[in-house]
Amino acid sequence: MSAYSVTAPSRRSKLVAGALVLLYTVITLLPLLWIISTGFKTGPDSIAYPPKVFFSPSLEGYVNLFTSRTRATNEQLAEMPPPANWVDEIVRRRNEVITGPSRFGERFMNSVIIGFGSTFLSIFLGTLAAYAFSRFRVPLKDDLMFFILSTRMMPPIAVAIPIFLMFRGLGLSDTHLGMILLYTGVNISLAVWLLKGFIDEIPREYEEAALIDGYTRFQAFRKVVLPQAATGIASTAIFCLIFAWNEYAFAVLLTSGNAQTAPPFIPTIIGVGGQDWPAVAAGATLFLLPVMVFTILLRKHLLRGITFGAVRK
């Protein structure tokens, strides 16, 4: 029995609750299942009507995602040496030949660099700022905290045009650094506010004990405050990463050939002769993975992080 229940739930209410949870799970997971399954369909299967629930799986979508191809006639194919591997085989079955790798790998790496880079920077700056706001007598502390919060009071995209112009002027357009700075700028206010709450919860006595024990202020911060704030840092990091990873509008506006991230790239995957839905779905599936893995790894912290500070001890 759960420690929180006063009486054990009846069999019927358990059934009802179970059914509701199941229904909700189906509703939320269905689109996800659709995307993942489409990634393993062939082109014709992906646009079949009614949709095919059972189909023979194919890696066509993933192969197309990672390659550039061109059409070849039967005669041309006959003149070529036999297919070198299974990838070649899949492509040739549709009268195509591989001309080189696609740009998906690059775009995905851009997303990783920009997403994790801006998350790291937001957390690094946010933790230091939150610590200072939490522990020291900062002049105009309340006004500064409000100022930091106020940067989130309108949707960031509202300032898209000034940012576009500034980035062009500063040479930051279509650079990794520019995108990292931009996402950090958007995330930092959230990071400072969340982390300040977590650090406020850590009693000062821990640091004071460390100061007395012969550590400097910075050592006390690193060895005592940081381990205590790990939960808060982890959950803040997830929030920052999710934003930076999923951001679409600025990525479309500010990146193109060099620093383009995966979100604006995936919808532009066009196959030979029409939208290549299996490849798009394969890209979306791979794009989902990092944040999903990251969140699952840190989910214990996340749960604790959300309820942390809700109850005063």
Interface residue list for other proteins (CB under 8 A): 203, 205-206, 208-217, 219, 224, 227-228
**Spatial CA neighbour of 41 closest among 23, 30, 25, 55:** 55
Closest separation in Å from C-beta 127 to other proteins: 17
Query: Looking at beta carbons only, is 149 or 209 nearer to other proteins?
Result: 209
Side-chain half-sphere CA neighbours of 152 within 13 A:
15
CB of 201 to other proteins, least distance (A): 12
Shortest CB 195 distance to other proteins, Å: 18
Rounded distance between C-alpha atoms, residue 89 and residue 97, angstroms: 9
Q: What are phi and psi of 98, to 5 degrees?
A: -80, 130
Q: Please give the torsion angle defined by the CA atoms of residues 122, 124, 129 and 134, in that order, rounded to the nearest 10 degrees.
A: 110
Closest CA to 277 of 122, 119, 83, 52: 52
Strands (E), 37-157: 67-71, 96-101
Nearest CB to other proteins, comparing residues 227 and 267 = 227
Helix (H) or strand (E) holding 271: strand 270-271
Question: 283 Cβ partners below 8 Å, 6+ apart?
Answer: 65, 104, 262, 265, 266, 269
One-letter amino acid of 265: F
Name the minimum Å distance from CB 29 to other proteins.
Answer: 37
Q: Shortest approach of other proteins to residue 64 CB, angstroms?
A: 49
Residue (168 or 217) nearer to other proteins, CB: 217
CB of 300 to other proteins, least distance (A): 15
Closest to other proteins by CB, 88 or 207: 207
> Is the Cβ of residue 215 or residue 248 nearer to other proteins in the bound state?
215
- Whole-angstrom Cα distance, residue 125 to residue 19? 45
User: From CA 169, how far away is CA 164, in angstroms rounded?
Assistant: 9
Q: How far is the CB of 4 from other proteins (least distance, A)?
A: 21
Q: Of 17 and 230, which has the nearer Cβ to other proteins?
A: 230
If the CB atoms of residues 155 and 227 are measured against other proteins, the closer one turns out to be: 227
Work out the angle between the directed axes of helices 226-246 and 299-307 (0-180°, nearest 10). Answer: 100
Phi/psi at 71 (nearest 5 deg)? -75, 145
